[in-house]
Structure 1
């Protein structure tokens, strides 16, 4: 069988959907209330809502919401310092991100003389400083943060610190940042703090005794779209790009995606390309790409997620797949023939990796769409 190269078309080249991880879709739906609350928090000094946790399973749009919060900050002339919360992030914030924030601030050239005790790397704009002490004190993250906030406050602007992929394994570093943030908040500094991560990691951080002020933070729990929101997420990008999306196609797209935001973008993107130069995306276009969409989930979600699990956790997950909805933890332990403590260790690993959730005491549920079907198929083929 010979291979033919399909002709290029404007439709294929310019898909309006964005199925990449962390990529903001052209039309964001279902998060307006959260965006409004964050905007109000920035507008009111000393108001509530400037400390926010964004949590949810993989693919529900945590990073996308951080991107939108960046846009909210920019609309208020606030500066955003963004960092992945991987090991060493405190050093990166102190030595690079905060100096870069100053570098983007137009006014800093005129107020160099006010910058006391803050040492910035010479390669980041060559900003010079003066020090009014002879001690050997090494400025820490809080010192740098407060110096930046003082400068921004003078010019009626502020700073948003946004941490993505927060994990409980980096709890000590996170404490360093949150201790500084708590102090800045107590001084009514122009600061907002947003952190995104999986539910198990956020729970650990919120319950940490050192960071008690975080228990008062706003918490945004992202989940799947409603059928109505799914229809909007599929229809509006196509319409804005000049293509229709008929009702039967929307219904099938909602059914296949289960409202999972990442899957919604995959379905929209593939259906758009399948429709090529057609004026409307039909149910046949969506039906033609369902298998490919599921294969993308296998490659980009299931594969990496399952590879990170221990064999015991994999067996626990496969045992859960026998139940159509929720599973009882006691019954799963019996199926595995495992001790209660061993089964609990497997359950905690699955929770930490965002594969399952615990909707109630003694119950667990698989949360990644279509993963149960995949596990059952894999089990039957074994």
Structure 2
């Protein structure tokens, strides 16, 4: 029976895979404009307990590479023969760290320290040779430890083995403040003890700013801040050209310039446009301008689904109105003009401005001005307005 669709043919051996990684958290083929951050973290690690940067908070808007930096930090510590324990900071993450992640790390090194062997039966001949012995392992610490106990115990054992531990938390959110407090308290103890550990957490600006400004813990307030932004134009160009050439294709100067411009130097868009352009080029040896133009249009639609919709859907009504007022000015606006459009005083509108900056939706490039942090936000809003207009016309 024939299928009501066409199955694409299996690629033959001549097909070359795209070198780009347009997947959240995946390390790109070339990590442009981030080497200094990697160097700083490695220096902190090598400088011993108490070094600035051994506790780092990574922040930035969606798509700038926060999860990527955590993965890179893990690679750095593993190059020093340290262990890593990682978790997404979703509900119950402290329990997962306590009962699964830390014991798993401990099991790699701690067999001799947590168990002992005792004689169950059998016989021993003279001088201990011959005979038979039955043994069993008995845990010497049968109590169920909390996170604080488990972490400190793990660090003590790792220290005995001449190694250390990196703990990373991704997608940190203030809705899990109690659990973050528990982790921060335990880490503060580890700092005071000079334990061999490092800590890195990633979250949106709203979350990280809240953790630092609120009275959550001295440990978090003193942590190093890494604010990831867009790439430089040169970084975006290198991030596109070098992987393409390393994978035995070429990209012309005009096509490269168009790709960089379309990406707005936004890290996720660099990967997305690169991947789309590679696919559009097919078996061609060179990625041309028309391939990039097709890639950029497809990338914009992907951005709408994966970045803009989840970012803007959760905004309260007044903040959405502020966003709409910025969009009416083309994506860059005077704060006074935004307040006028909303019918609010400058100080009242400023409350929503500050909230949106904390959420990573807008930024203030100059005093008295705001603009969108994420490329194509104005395009997305216009698209949504057009859809709403068509729906109301049909109604």
TM-score range, shorter chain: 0.7 to 0.9
Alignment of 1:223-302 (within 5 A): 223-302=229-308
Residues 67, 298 of structure 1: CA spacing in aligned structure 2 closer, same or farther, 3 A cutoff? Answer: same
State how far apart, in whole Å, the 2-side matches of 1:159 and 1:12 are.
Answer: 41
Question: How many residues end up aligned between the 2 structures?
Answer: 364
Aligned CA-pair RMSD: 2.7
Alignment partner of 2:74 out of 70, 75, 79: 70
Deviation of 1:31 after TM superposition, in Å, equals 0.7
Partner of 1:129: 139
Residues 286, 172 of structure 1: CA spacing in aligned structure 2 closer, same or farther, 3 A cutoff? Answer: same
* Structure 2 unmatched runs, 5+: 117-135, 390-395
Partner of 1:144: 150
Residues 318-337 of structure 1 show CA distances to partners (whole Å, capped at 9, x for unaligned) of 11112346434454233123
Q: Is the 8 A contact 1:9 1:276 kept in 2?
A: no
Alignment partner of 2:114 out of 87, 109, 112: 112
Deviation of 1:218 after TM superposition, in Å, equals 1.6
Alignment of 1:173-192 (within 5 A): 173-192=179-198
Deviation of 1:66 after TM superposition, in Å, equals 0.7
Q: TM-score, normalised by structure 2?
A: 0.84
Partner of 2:64: 60
Deviation of 1:350 after TM superposition, in Å, equals 3.2
Residues 95-132 of structure 1 show CA distances to partners (whole Å, capped at 9, x for unaligned) of 221112223x2x32233259xxxxxxxxxxx9853149
* Structure 1 unmatched runs, 5+: 115-125
Deviation of 1:181 after TM superposition, in Å, equals 0.7
Greater shift, 331-340 or 299-308, is seen at 331-340
Partner of 2:132: none
Residues 195-250 of structure 1 show CA distances to partners (whole Å, capped at 9, x for unaligned) of 11111211111122241233332211111111111011111211221111222111
Q: Is the 8 A contact 2:205 2:359 kept in 1?
A: no
Greater shift, 151-160 or 90-99, is seen at 90-99
Q: Is the 8 A contact 1:52 1:195 kept in 2?
A: yes
Residues 242-268 of structure 1 show CA distances to partners (whole Å, capped at 9, x for unaligned) of 111222111111000000010111100
Partner of 2:31: 28
Q: TM-score, normalised by structure 1?
A: 0.87
Partner of 1:195: 201
Q: Is the 8 A contact 1:112 1:127 kept in 2?
A: no
Deviation of 1:362 after TM superposition, in Å, equals 5.8
